[in-house]
Amino acid sequence: MSPKSSTPSLLSPAFLNKLDRMALLAKKVKPGVSKGERKSLRKGSSIDFADYRDYVQGDDLRHIDWNIYSRLESLYIKLFEEREDLTLHLLIDASESMKFGSPSKLDMAKQLAAALGYIALAGHERVSIEAFSEHGVQRISPCRGKGSIRKLFSFIEGIESGGDTNLEKGSDRYLMRNRSRGVAVLLTDFFDDSGFEGAVQRLVLSRSEVHMMHILAPEELNPKLTGDLKLIDSETKTFAEVSMSRALLKQYEANKIGFINSVRKYCTARGVGYVQLSSDAPLETTVMHLLRGGGMVR
């Protein structure tokens, strides 16, 4: 249950190699801010021909297809496909509760964020990342290109947990600053006394493609507590006096499943991707199978 004292190096080089072959999958292609590698719905200025259209006054003369004009004596504008980038919004819940678990939930969140960020940067996407809690917000300016990987990783490694969770407020604050649509991924344990629904709602309304990564520690999934205990909440400091019994553990199990299902149900009903994983799950498998299966990467 104790938080890990040091964060291991985020990702191994071999794993990074595998990530190179992956790319973010956005079902709805979102317009980006910068020209990027991603084919845009808009017609743009890339070298790939897209279509013709009639010339109208004011069009750039450089785009007139003079060969067509010589044959048909009509002015046609040659249209090219627009290449745009995609913004990956990584929102990490850095509240006190994320510190728990072995390995801690925050470590898992960091590694996942690093993996997704790496895939995005390798695919010339923009990555915007922020770790938040009631304690404060940790962020860097959005980065782009493989050259930013070091910057991204060092930020991720430096994320510290602390403070209460308020997912809705955190999401709200982030969306105020980052209006670009894209793929939004929230990595959290959803232990928010004020409820998780608001945060999901806000992210959906931002018209980004939203994914929820529900990280729970193995101690939370299968508690090994015995005896008469005074359980103290790491964030709110409220306590629950429990005498462990089979009935209580059974009840906890039922409530845990109910909690996970309620989050899953809420997300899927709103077209939000939902993945629940344990903090001790092997990262490679998680990324390869769970995220790929969840339609986040390909």
Partner 1 sequence: MMAWLKSFTLAPQFLWFLWLLPVIVILYLLKLRRTEAVISSTMLWMKSLQDLTANSPFQKLRKNLLLLLQLLIILLAVFALARPYAKMEGLSGSHYCLVIDHSASMQTLEGEDGKTRLELAKEKALELIDNLERGDKAMVVSFSENAEVKCEMTDDDYRLRAAINSIEPHDTRSNIRDVMMMAASLSPDNPDIPSTMPDLQLILLSDGQITDLEDIGARARDVVFQKIGETSYNAGVVALSMRENDSQDEMHQTLVSLYNAHFEVIETTLTLYLNDSAIGVEEVQLAPEGMTDTVFQHPDFQEGMMRVELDLDDRLAVDNQAWMTIQPAQVIKVLLVSDTNSSNSFYLKRALGVISDVELSEMSPSAYQTIEGYDLTIFDGFAPEILPQGSSVYINAFPKLEGLLPGEVIEAPPILGVDRKHPVMRYLSPENVGIGSATQFAVPPGSFELMTTNGTPLIADVSRNARQLLIIGFDISDSDWPLKLSFPLFMQNVVNWVPRTSTSAQQFVQSGTPIEFAAQDNESELSIKKPDGITSNIVVAPTHPVYYGDTALVGAYSVSQGESRYSIAVNLSSIEESNIKPSDTLSFGRGTIQATQKPLRTTREFWPILVLIALIILQFEWWIYSKRAWI
Rounded to an integer, what is the distance from CA 140 to the centroid of its chain?
A: 15
Pick the closer one to partner 1 by CB: 76 or 100: 100
Buried-exposed string 130-150: b where 16+ CB fall within 10 A, e elsewhere: bbbbebeebbbebbbeeebbe
Binding flag, residue 262, partner 1 (CB under 8 A): no
Tokens read off for 104: 């801690």
93 binds partner 1 (CB under 8 A): no
Closer residue to partner 1, CB minimum distance, 205 or 254: 254
The window from 122-130, 139-147, 188-196, 204-212 that contacts partner 1 (CB under 8 A) reads 188-196
**Beta carbons of 266 and 202 less than 8 angstroms apart:** no
Q: Which of 55, 80, 259, 266 binds partner 1 (CB under 8 A)?
A: 259
The answer to whether residue 217 forms part of the interface with partner 1 (CB under 8 A) is: yes
Q: How far is CA 2 from CA 234, 264, 293, in A?
A: 11, 28, 32
Determine which residue in the list 84, 107, 209, 220 makes contact with partner 1, applying CB under 8 A.
220
Q: Which of 189, 200, 213, 278 binds partner 1 (CB under 8 A)?
A: 189
Alpha-carbon torsion (35, 36, 41, 43), positive or negative: positive
Q: CA 205, CA 217: separation in Å to the nearest integer? A: 29
> Does 233 engage in binding with partner 1 (CB under 8 A)?
yes
Q: Please pick, from the candidates 20, 48, 51, 193, the single residue that binds partner 1 as defined by CB under 8 A.
A: 193
- Of the candidate residues 163, 234, 280, 292, the single one contacting partner 1 (CB under 8 A): 234
70 binds partner 1 (CB under 8 A): no
**Do residues 212 and 273 touch, judged by C-beta distance below 8 A?**
yes
